[in-house]
Amino acid sequence: MSFRFLITSLVFFVVTLIVILSGTVINQLTEEDLRKQIDARLSWQVQAVSSEGTLSTILNLRRFVQRQIGTNPSLDNLFDVQIPTRIFLNNELFIYTDGFPEIVTTASNGYSNVSLEGQEWRVLTKTLQIPRGRGPTTSDQMNIQVAMSRDFISTTMQDFRKRFISVGVVSVLLSALVTWLLCGALLRPLRRLQGYAENVNDSSDLSVRIPEDSLYSLSEVRILSKSLNSMISRLEFSSTRTEKALETSRGFASNLAHELRTPLTSMKMNLELLERHEEIPATEKRNILNEVIVQQDRLFSTLESLRLLARGDLSEISVFEEVDLAPLVNELSARQISNHGGGDIDIQFPDPPPLIFGWREGLTVLFNNLLENAYVHSNVSPEQLEILINVSVEEKWVRLTVDDNGVGVKKHERKIVLDRFKRGSDSYGQGSGLGLSLVTQQVEIHSGTIEITESSMGGARVEIALPIIMDPESDQI
């Protein structure tokens, strides 16, 4: 059942009920008013006849009055000749007007209803005592009776009911028609909204949005379109995350197979060599085992880097927090010096150091891989390696530069080495090729930028810009 049909049916039944109830009430009130009008006319007629002047005229000029009733206009001023009236004097008919029904005389005063030959009459009787000397006898009793037919009430009410039913039927049908048309006009924006929603469903393109203001005048429809757009946005976000997770999973498996094939093959060959040639000298055997250990370390490093990449791809805003860069960079620098047994790392921070709204683990991965990349690919021994870390604030950005005195990166390779499993041609280390890709990933997660240039120290310079939150001693964002 459509909303339009439901509303129209509801209005139809409500209006029908209102028409029936109002018709019943109006019918009763109208009929009651007509009855009161009859009683009022009868009462007026009795008052007019029993007035002193009229009564004297009737008693003194009986024959003249009887002959002239209905023909002499002067008598019409005495009472309403259209209302059947008769007067009894001492229970004998004294005078009457035409049209009075042949009903039995009643001695009771007041109103009464009389049925005669299928016709309903309303009768008012009033008894008067004629003062001594005024009537034809010494003691006269006068009964005044006036009557009006009630049939005209039935006729009037039948005509009223016919007209009311006709008007009521037209009103009900007209209200249903108007409601149907109005519902159609009101539902037109919803149909357009439905069309847009079906287009989104048919195209399977969750980037499409429903117009919120241009086509809809009803605030409820605009709110509904905004809610649908919000739902589509959430679906698009979930779909994107799902696709990204699948892509990450496929990329992880593909890259893992590619990167693990070489070290595993090398390890297998070395182990088979040891198995087949037991007579290998101890020194050469030790070298082979050391190479296997190096390959195993490389495998572990590659797996850990891929794990971090996969976790970075699935990071959420809920893990972001305020991070103070100074203690984080100082801690990671000290750890790298300890791990590699040397190196000179100079750190320069503004005072006070800025805060970053970021993922603490992601920023740890970023800085740790920047420093690790300098150690592994600089072609400089840890004791001779020099690294300069400079942090500055420019407007709403934190500028981070890392310089080293290594061999640097050739100009045409500076963008390539940011991709996964890519190494520079001058790289002398045994890295996995994922270090700078981890750095790039975290920069993108934090809505920043990264660029590799030539350092004044002779090696590479990595320049990173990240959005700032605020200075610790300032309320300005």
Contact present, 432 and 259 (Cβ < 8 Å): yes
Q: What are phi and psi of 246, to 5 degrees?
A: -65, -45
**CATH number, residue 13:** 3.30.450
Out of 17-21, 58-62, 86-90, 147-151, the most confident range is 17-21
**CATH number, residue 383:** 3.30.565.10
pLDDT at 471: 43
- When pLDDT is averaged across residues 87-108 and rounded to a whole number, the result is 76
pLDDT in tens, 249-296: 776 676 667 667 767 887 888 888 888 887 888 888 888 888 888 778
Q: How far apart are CA 375 and CA 370, in angstroms?
A: 9
Terminal-to-terminal C-alpha distance of the chain: 56
pLDDT band at 475 (very low <50, low <70, confident <90, very high): very low
Domain boundary among 157, 176, 205: 157
Domain of residue 8, residue span: 3-157
Nearest 10 degrees: Cα torsion 104, 107, 113, 118: 0
Contact present, 446 and 312 (Cβ < 8 Å): no
Q: What are phi and psi of 400, to 5 degrees?
A: -120, 125
Residue 164 lies in a domain: no
Q: Domains in the chain: how many in total? A: 2
Q: Is 7 a residue whose pLDDT tops 70?
A: yes
Residue 218 lies in a domain: no
The amino acid at 379: N
pLDDT band at 210 (very low <50, low <70, confident <90, very high): confident
Model pTM?
A: 0.45
- When pLDDT is averaged across residues 398-409 and rounded to a whole number, the result is 89
pLDDT at 150: 84
Q: Is 305 a residue whose pLDDT tops 70?
A: no
pLDDT in tens, 153-173: 888 888 988 999 999 999 999
Residue 188 lies in a domain: no
Peptide bond into 352 cis (omega under 30): yes
Residue 260 lies in a domain: no
